[in-house]
Structure 1
């Protein structure tokens, strides 16, 4: 079986699943369903962050270490230690993530651990689970990643907003990765004032809004205020479209299907 393009980047795949589950938790009609989606959010959120850190550490070690040494480094050590110490080891200085963000990630990891390895009986674990606000998990993971890139002097990936590109197919759908310049074109198509066709201004925009935590928050809030996806054009039936609810059948039909 050939795997699709969604399988090439574990950090992206897990973060996308986190975003999907967080939305499902918000919309869940019963506590039973909410607990399911909240639990999944915690699993995918921590997995996304650890995958990201592992990717960064692998890239950092590759020039001087062999695969065995890299594998040993990645497989050992607790997640929270990686979270707090690896950025300084990789970049040369720690990230500037706010303490409340770190505390929330630690809390989510603790609850996830209790759900995986219950040490008590009763409802206390689920009481802690219901303290979690679903979108706060998304915000915390994305903020950590954006902060890492800010300190590193690189740009964070557009998929931190939770939106994805649906690749148009006749009878199915899949999400794919696209470059950040196309992301700017998509924002412009959505009606935002983005200089996507002016290279110098586009690069300046990306440096301002896609290379810092503050920039991430501005674009995130703007996208969350949008009630539509990137519009389709009959002239380009196979063009991937940026979709805000890429996991639903309704949007597969409107964003992911090939135009007649």
Structure 2
């Protein structure tokens, strides 16, 4: 069983490779999470909006793993950012997940109507209460993240879409000096990036798949965590094999991938913030 390396900051100790659970629901979804846990994944990412926290909790219970050996993240939906609503939301998540605390609790999306200071104060209150060991945000652009940090709330992480087709350089310029981590969701670009010729050439040189190279490129970066979703056991195993590959990529490999266009955003709902702000 592999040991997944961790990133340690002043706010948290987080496994560098996580397991995303978006759209994994019902009995089949629970079996996928159980499979990931059996293979050695110890970092599970879910959310109120995913409507699968009960399945994730059931998979954890079935695994027999100690709670303190796992890192579990959930997120509050943007309609529940008022203090009372956020408190009810985390309590519902904890009940569904069958746990007394979350390792990380995130604001899932910013809302145009939200009071940023009030929302972050409520989020920090959940950290101070022990219901969340660490807190952070998701889908915040660089300018909004700076404003959030200016409130003084100890934000541990920001979770955003990040893959070889979408640059997050501006955000990383905020994240790294702040001692945060950036969690990359959709790290395989929903499969759309895997036909990229440069990626395929690097994969051939290393006897790996394009998906493994795409993950390895993220995993070798300072302060970056990747949380791919993989329903099948074979894909779960393949993603774990990206961990040793990260150390084998050459500077030329990394530079070739970094030169790819970085403007292919795939997750952009109507309520998304101005990404250039």
Q: What TM-score results when the alignment is normalised by the length of structure 1? A: 0.33
Structure showing greater Rg: 1
Structure with higher helix content: 1
Structure with higher strand content: 2
Q: What TM-score results when the alignment is normalised by the length of structure 2? A: 0.31
